[in-house]
Amino acid sequence: MAFEFTDNNFKTEALDKKGVSVVDFWAEWCGPCRAITPIIEDLAKEYDGKVTVGKLNVDDNPEVAMKYGIRSIPTILVLKDGEVVDKTVGVTTKQALADKIEANL
């Protein structure tokens, strides 16, 4: 299952961790966000133990969303060692995300 990022755990689970993290910024009311949820869940299973793949609800966790200037959702950030190395806005394919993950492993 995809990890649940929050304002409280984002620093320790995404910024301070070595390695790659994938953060899907989403909201309950967002249709395109719901459309990519199965992709995020699949990637979380496939990369379990290698990459932290998770979701951050922008309505419940506005601090992180504001810090990264998230204006459109879904937005997916790929972080490596706490730094943003890739950003995707809008719906994308599982293969496109997997390619971004692989490029940063």
Catalytic residue annotation: 30, 33
Is 3 in contact with 13 (CB distance < 8 Å)? yes
93 token code pair: 């394919």
Q: Indicate the Cα dihedral angle 23, 28, 34, 40, nearest 10°.
A: 20
